[in-house]
């Protein structure tokens, strides 16, 4: 006995449509003629049956009629060009031609019955019924045909991993759009296997025939619709589907979605963040806007990775004025264009946006900026941050990272700025290179100045690498992978902290509202990530394979080159173990020792003198010496009182 299953019908129909779409034009025209002949015969039979109220069966006296009229109708359709029409492009013009053909066919039926009257009565209503069914049938079959092929061609066929609530919502949101067309669900739940959800089949994710089934449906992409999926599960699915050559997409996490519905625009590639497993927390908008809303804000280094994201976040929080300062013209131009686009999209015209092309080392230009724009809040993100470059050019790090920071800092105090925020780095903790040393000295300058800063509240916000920034390994690895490898590591054991630039900027802005007296705020970066694991994950995300696993020269190799001068295996975030939780989740206050300005200024004078003699080795040595903590010359630590976590 035939065991019917819905999957059998859908698969058979899919194969039939595929075969038909790939068949020649003459074959499609022959099929159209055969279908039209069947419709003509059916229309005549229905005309007699409905008119006399009984199933018509008198074919002995009418068989010639059932033979001639279909042939005549096909000739009429052909002469009007109906069979030259591509059915998938059917439109009103085709339907008007069919209407003409049906009228002519009906007239021919009338003429035929007049010239060769069959041995029976032919009421006029038979002809009217014939015309209606002929027109409805020929138009209807073409409309259905067009709809099936159109549905078949809408969007790229994809599978949805997860037939739960999120998967069903995704299916509903994708159905009306052209980009993706869901054709099958994949799920781990055995109770759902071989069932249909939302009209499409559910298959087992663990079946060894998964690749065959997906390729049979022309599926080359799988959308993971499980917002709560863990990082380990992402990597597991990535490994498995990479083996069958299927690309993975995903939807936002629960934290990203909030209460919003899933939209087709939210379907995205799996990012390295999904693999790293960071769980971002929605920001406290009240805290974010505390130093920004209705105020004049200055961002130095506004064209850089952190600076530009700070600008984008600030412009959304309705400042009175945003001054963007950067020494690089292309970077400044790009961020100003982006910000103008944001304002235009929101229809906002009451925020003054001011680009300033200048260096933080130019004290007279910095003074002019403060005099002209009177900023209430300053986010100082301008800095050189590439370790190898500053290791070779320590004098540039001293000029920008130390004395440039000091210039902006002192001008902020002199101008009565209410809030000054220094963006720092984990490389400032126990520095082993010139860049880290310059950032640590900048921190010491702020801590010393904060004790006599008048009404200016000053703080340091320290964090590790941000994904995608110009100084991180992420863009470097991506370019190497796109070029076919190899991916280069300095050491297989190197670990680093990572977070997104968006999260970093949001936490910086929140921390700026709770500062008091030279606080050192450290962002919770999660667990350090092994750079080798990061490289392997990025290779897999790109749909590539590791040469170490396949042994094929065409796959991506990972090459270890050795640590660069000044590079550490593992970075740190805290100098002391005295760490306090602030009122902001993921923001800690580090209670650290500091150097009085009277002592620190002598060290700075020494650095200035070394700049004059251009001795890089002595300058690098002096940097590491000044930045090193020596308990014999430290004053009491700055106190940071913890507050309740929000």
Which CATH number belongs to the domain containing residue 209 in this structure?
A: 3.40.50.720
**Poorest-pLDDT segment among 45-59, 108-122, 297-311, 353-367:** 108-122
Do 174 and 292 reside in the same domain of the chain?
Answer: no
**Average confidence (pLDDT) over 551-564:** 84
Instruction: List, edge to edge, every strand of the sheet that includes 457-463.
Output: 352-357, 321-326, 296-300, 377-380, 419-425, 457-463, 519-523, 587-590, 579-581
Do 335 and 391 reside in the same domain of the chain?
Answer: yes
- 445 by DSSP, 3-state: which? helix
Residue 293, domain member (yes or no): yes
Distance in angstroms between the alpha carbons of the first and the last residue of the chain: 66
Q: Give the residue, 612 or 206, on which the prediction is more confident.
A: 612
Residue 146, domain member (yes or no): yes
Whether omega before 486 lies within 30 degrees of 0, making that bond cis, reads: yes
pLDDT at 118: 65
Do 258 and 293 reside in the same domain of the chain?
Answer: no
Residue 501, domain member (yes or no): yes
Q: Residues 6 or more apart from 322 whose CB is under 8 A from it?
A: 296, 297, 299, 311, 314, 315, 339, 351, 352, 353, 354
Give the end of a domain, one of 270, 293, 310.
270
Model confidence at 59, pLDDT cuts 50, 70, 90, reads confident
- Provide the pairing of β-strand 419-425 with 377-380: parallel
Model confidence at 362, pLDDT cuts 50, 70, 90, reads very high
Q: Find out whether 558 and 536 touch, Cβ atoms under 8 Å.
A: yes
- Angle, to 10 degrees, between the axis of helix 597-613 and the axis of helix 434-449? 140
Do 160 and 140 reside in the same domain of the chain?
Answer: no
Domain range holding 141?
Answer: 22-152
Structure tokens at 5: 């299953």
- 13 by DSSP, 3-state: which? helix
Do 142 and 176 reside in the same domain of the chain?
Answer: no
Residue 603, domain member (yes or no): yes
**Which of 232-241, 253-262, 436-445, 543-552 has the highest mean predicted lDDT (pLDDT)?**
436-445
Strand partners, 321: 296, 352
pLDDT at 357: 96
pLDDT at 629: 66
**Which of 256-260, 371-375, 578-582 has the highest mean predicted lDDT (pLDDT)?**
371-375
Q: Find out whether 50 and 108 touch, Cβ atoms under 8 Å.
A: no
Do 321 and 447 reside in the same domain of the chain?
Answer: yes
pLDDT at 630: 52
Q: Residues 6 or more apart from 72 whose CB is under 8 A from it?
A: 105, 108, 112
Residue 369, domain member (yes or no): yes
Q: What is the dihedral of CA 82, 87, 89, 95, to 10 degrees?
A: 50
Q: Residues 6 or more apart from 69 whose CB is under 8 A from it?
A: 40, 44, 105, 108, 109, 112
pLDDT at 619: 92
Q: How confident is the prediction for the chain on average, in pLDDT?
A: 81
pLDDT at 38: 92
Model confidence at 601, pLDDT cuts 50, 70, 90, reads very high
Residue 444, domain member (yes or no): yes
Model confidence at 401, pLDDT cuts 50, 70, 90, reads very high
- CA 330 vs CA 306, 324, 344: distances in Å: 16, 13, 21
Q: Find out whether 469 and 503 touch, Cβ atoms under 8 Å.
A: no
Residue 32, domain member (yes or no): yes
Structure tokens at 16: 């039939």
Do 418 and 342 reside in the same domain of the chain?
Answer: yes
Give the end of a domain, one of 99, 118, 152.
152
pTM above 0.85, yes or no: no
- CA 421 vs CA 17, 146, 517: distances in Å: 64, 62, 12
Do 110 and 239 reside in the same domain of the chain?
Answer: no
pLDDT at 295: 94
Do 337 and 256 reside in the same domain of the chain?
Answer: no
Give the end of a domain, one of 119, 152, 185.
152
**Which of 19-28, 125-134, 543-552 has the highest mean predicted lDDT (pLDDT)?**
125-134
Q: How many domains does the chain have?
A: 3
Q: Is the pLDDT of residue 346 over 80?
A: yes
361/382 Cα distance (integer angstroms): 10
Do 173 and 100 reside in the same domain of the chain?
Answer: no
Residue 12, domain member (yes or no): no
């Amino acid at each position: 006995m035939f065991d019917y299953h819905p999957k059998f019908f859908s698969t058979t129909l899919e194969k039939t449509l595929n075969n038909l779409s790939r068949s020649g034009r003459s074959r499609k025209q022959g099929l159209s003629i055969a279908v039209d002949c069947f419709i003509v015969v059916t229309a005549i039979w229905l005309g007699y049956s409905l008119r006399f109220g009984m199933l018509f069966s008198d074919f002995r006296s009418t068989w010639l009629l059932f033979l001639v009229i279909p042939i005549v109708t096909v000739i009429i359709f052909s002469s009007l060009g109906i069979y030259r029409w591509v059915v998938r492009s059917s439109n009103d013009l085709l339907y008007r031609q069919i209407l003409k053909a049906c009228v002519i066919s009906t007239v021919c039926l009338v003429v035929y019955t007049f010239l060769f009257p069959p041995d029976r009565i032919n009421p006029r209503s038979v002809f009217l019924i014939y015309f209606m069914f002929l027109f409805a049938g020929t138009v209807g079959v073409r409309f259905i045909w067009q709809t099936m092929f159109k549905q078949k061609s809408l969007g790229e066929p994809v599978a949805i991993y997860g037939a739960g609530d999120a998967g069903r919502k995704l299916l509903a949101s994708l159905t009306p759009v052209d980009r993706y067309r869901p054709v099958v669900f994949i799920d781990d739940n055995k109770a759902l296997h071989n069932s249909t959800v939302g009209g499409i089949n559910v298959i087992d994710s663990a079946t060894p025939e998964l690749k065959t089934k997906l390729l049979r449906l022309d599926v080359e992409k799988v959308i993971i619709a499980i917002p709560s999926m863990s990082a380990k599960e992402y990597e597991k699915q990535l490994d498995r589907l990479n083996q069958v050559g299927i690309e993975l997409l995903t939807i936002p996490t629960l934290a990203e979605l909030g209460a919003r519905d899933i939209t087709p625009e939210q379907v995205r590639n799996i990012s390295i963040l999904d693999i790293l497993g960071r769980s971002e927390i929605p920001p406290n908008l009240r805290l974010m806007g505390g130093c920004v809303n209705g105020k004049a804000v200055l961002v130095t280094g506004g064209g850089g990775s952190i600076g530009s994201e700070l600008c984008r976040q600030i412009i959304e929080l309705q400042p009175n004025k945003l001054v963007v300062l950067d020494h690089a013209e292309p970077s400044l131009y790009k961020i100003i264009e982006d910000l103008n686009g944001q304002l235009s999209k929101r229809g906002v015209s009451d925020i003054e946006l001011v680009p300033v092309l200048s260096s933080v080392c130019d004290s007279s230009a910095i003074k002019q900026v403060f005099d002209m724009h009177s900023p209430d809040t300053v986010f100082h993100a301008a800095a050189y941050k590439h370790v190898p470059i500053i290791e070779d050019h320590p004098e540039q790090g001293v000029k920008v990272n130390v004395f440039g920071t000091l210039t902006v800092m002192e001008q902020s105090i002199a101008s009565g700025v209410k809030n000054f925020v220094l963006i720092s780095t984990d490389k400032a903790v126990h520095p082993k290179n010139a860049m880290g040393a310059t950032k640590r000295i900048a921190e010491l300058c702020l801590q010393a100045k904060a004790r006599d800063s008048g009404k200016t509240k000053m703080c340091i916000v320290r964090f590790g690498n941000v994904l995608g920034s110009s100084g991180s390994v992420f863009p470097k690895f991506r370019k190497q992978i796109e070029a076919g490898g190899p991916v280069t590591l300095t050491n297989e054991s190197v670990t680093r902290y990572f977070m997104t630039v968006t999260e970093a900027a949001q936490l910086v802005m929140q921390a700026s509202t709770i500062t008091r007296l030279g606080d050192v705020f450290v962002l919770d970066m999660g667990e350090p990530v092994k750079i080798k694991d990061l490289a392997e994950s990025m290779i897999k995300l790109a749909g590539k394979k590791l040469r170490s696993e396949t042994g094929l020269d065409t796959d991506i190799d990972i090459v270890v080159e050795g640590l660069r001068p000044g590079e550490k295996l593992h970075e740190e975030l805290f100098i002391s173990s005295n760490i306090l939780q602030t009122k902001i989740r993921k923001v800690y206050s580090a209670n650290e020792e500091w150097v009085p300005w009277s002592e620190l200024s002598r060290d700075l004078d020494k650095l200035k003198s070394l700049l004059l003699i251009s001795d890089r080795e002595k300058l690098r040595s002096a940097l590491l010496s000044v930045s090193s903590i020596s308990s014999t010359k430290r004053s009491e630590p700055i106190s940071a009182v913890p507050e309740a976590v929000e």
